A and B are shown apart, each in its own frame.
Chain A
């Protein structure tokens, strides 16, 4: 049986892992390669590296970190942040990453998704979407540039479009939930999940064990991502999986 995935996310700035609270107030917490190795040993199912400054400050992505990580850990990982061309995708994938995630760049140039999917396969293309509920409550808008710009585009429609263009997986971050530790945004996740058939990774809002169980028990996601919870040692991946197993959720232990 396929298992639900627990994915630590490493937000990387200048080669160090950081985690923002609602995308501001960054705190440095560690070396990405060391952390990746630690999570590998804890039994994480996958990792995500997000170069959070790449889009904003036009930094090149982290080929070097990818190479080092791929030498040490033998599990899949995704790299995102500032990837704007098929050539950049190729560099990251050849360095040892399994998937690339596109966020702002895909909004500006949706052909990137289809070009990448054609060259590397749909399964390499993760569409990362930062969404926020509209004030009138009618749905969610897509935000780009690390949540700084409201595109006015409906998130669910954009995700459907993205999957048609070749996204093999959706990494859905709720900006309303992110940093609150009040749980994943179930309504947003379910709206996306009922619109597309590719796997959905829940991101934003996880604060305790019950939140992992909730997102899976409500069948709102295939994988759950968390960052600060793990980085600050509040929970280990092992603890989360033992807990989920007790709740009869299929996990790899």
Chain B
């Protein structure tokens, strides 16, 4: 069972739909005890970083989610759900994150339109078995104005170039996965990434 963390933000339905489509059982919950019974968790996120973190704290989810990750249990963060795993964000003031991944979230410095909205190629940052299940040039769907910097290169699995900005697209460290793009909205390759999380993390 995959638990989708409901903290009052984000497009939970889409993640649920995508998991159902690939044949995975899942539940949406904001209750710590219910979530702790799940084998894996997904932390989605839409909206401003500060609001998302505030909601996580208000609902008593920030501590338990951090503990979950510290124990090495599988978790996939998506979009702002990914960003919250880092140390801090500069979106609308400086806000601390969960700090399980090294790095900070900064506004993208580019002459291209911000937010980046659209499909961008997910390029390999390192060899990873995940890529075997994807098409040779996978495209994934991004919608974001901020991205990670000063992260640990060892955590970076895939990236996308937005002008000169190297966007940390997919971080993988053990059972912890984090996608800046939306796998649930990235067509067949996106579904494969969810599938990989569902099947290959333990």
Interface residues of A (CB under 8 A from B): 1-5, 40, 45-46, 67, 70-71, 74-76, 93-99, 118-124, 168-169, 197-200, 222-223, 252
Are B118 and A45 within 8 A (Cβ)?
yes
Residues of the A chain whose Cβ atoms lie less than 8 Å from the Cβ of B118: 2-5, 45-46, 199, 222-223
> In the complex, A198→B108 CA distance in Å?
13
- Contact among A96, A120, A198, A200 with B46 in the assembled complex (CB-CB below 8 Å): A120
Residues of the A chain whose Cβ atoms lie less than 8 Å from the Cβ of B117: 5, 123, 168-169, 199, 222
Residues of the B chain whose Cβ atoms lie less than 8 Å from the Cβ of A120: 46-47
Are A197 and B113 within 8 A (Cβ)?
yes
- Which residues in chain B, 103-150, are within 8 Å of chain A measured between CB atoms? 112-121, 139, 141, 143-145
The answer to whether the Cβ of B191 comes within 8 Å of any Cβ in the partner chain is yes
Task: Choose, from B14-22, B151-159, B170-178, the stretch at the interface.
Answer: B14-22
> In the complex, A4→B118 CA distance in Å?
8
Are B115 and A198 within 8 A (Cβ)?
yes
Are A199 and B115 within 8 A (Cβ)?
yes
- Contact among B17, B47, B182 with A121 in the assembled complex (CB-CB below 8 Å): B47
The answer to whether the Cβ of B190 comes within 8 Å of any Cβ in the partner chain is yes
> In the complex, A93→B9 CA distance in Å?
10
Are B11 and A98 within 8 A (Cβ)?
yes
> In the complex, A118→B188 CA distance in Å?
31
**16 pairs from A and B in contact (CB 8 Å cutoff):** A4-B118, A67-B13, A70-B13, A71-B20, A75-B187, A76-B141, A94-B11, A94-B12, A118-B51, A121-B47, A121-B80, A123-B145, A168-B117, A199-B117, A222-B118, A223-B118
